[in-house]
Amino acid sequence: MTETNTLLRVGVVGCGGISQIIHIPILAKIPGVQLVALCDIDDRKTAFLSKRFDVPHTFRDIEEMFRKVEIDLLFILTPTNMHLPMAYIALRNGVHLFIERPAARNAKETQKIYDASQKADRHVMIGMQSRFRNDFRTIKGFMENKTLGDILHIRAEWLQSSLESIKQPWIFNKNMSG
């Protein structure tokens, strides 16, 4: 984002389920954010999302995206094995990053992303969305304010459909997910 440009120009690489259901719809509603590019190997996904959210540019190749569009912040929402190479390309192009969790397949790859971000002087945020959930923030408030005294242990459970993982079979592939 330049001084003359008040909009944060955002690109998204990886247009699968989490992009379609969570990230892109939310980004499209944030004042001051302009979705400028979508990148995915599946043209059907980018075409659908581009039309639905009025995103002007779609690409199959991240390098081409950076050659043709100015981006301030890139959301990396690909399978985990692609996080490191996508982060390297984005940081080389001088953009800040949001990377969906986990950051990488292992600590070594995560450290490489961190080191590259320091060298490029760019920020990287990992999508640890639970820290922003109201229930987690409420519990954190209880702990900080000692509302319930000294909390020694917390156990929490919530229901979540495990069938969602079946729609993303790469999650079960160790080489891809870590």
With beta carbons less than 8 A apart as the criterion, state whether 71 and 11 touch.
Answer: yes
Tens-place pLDDT, residues 112-128: 999 999 999 999 999 97
DSSP helix/strand/coil, 139: helix
pLDDT at 57 over 80: yes
Residue with the larger pLDDT of the pair 175 and 105 = 105
- Give the chain's domains with CATH numbers: 1-178 (3.40.50.720)
pLDDT reported for residue 170:
64
Residue with the larger pLDDT of the pair 124 and 152 = 124
Torsion of CA 86, 90, 93, 98, to 10 degrees: 180
Share of residues in the chain with pLDDT > 70 (%): 84
Q: Which two tokens stand for residue 85?
A: 């190479």
pLDDT reported for residue 143:
85
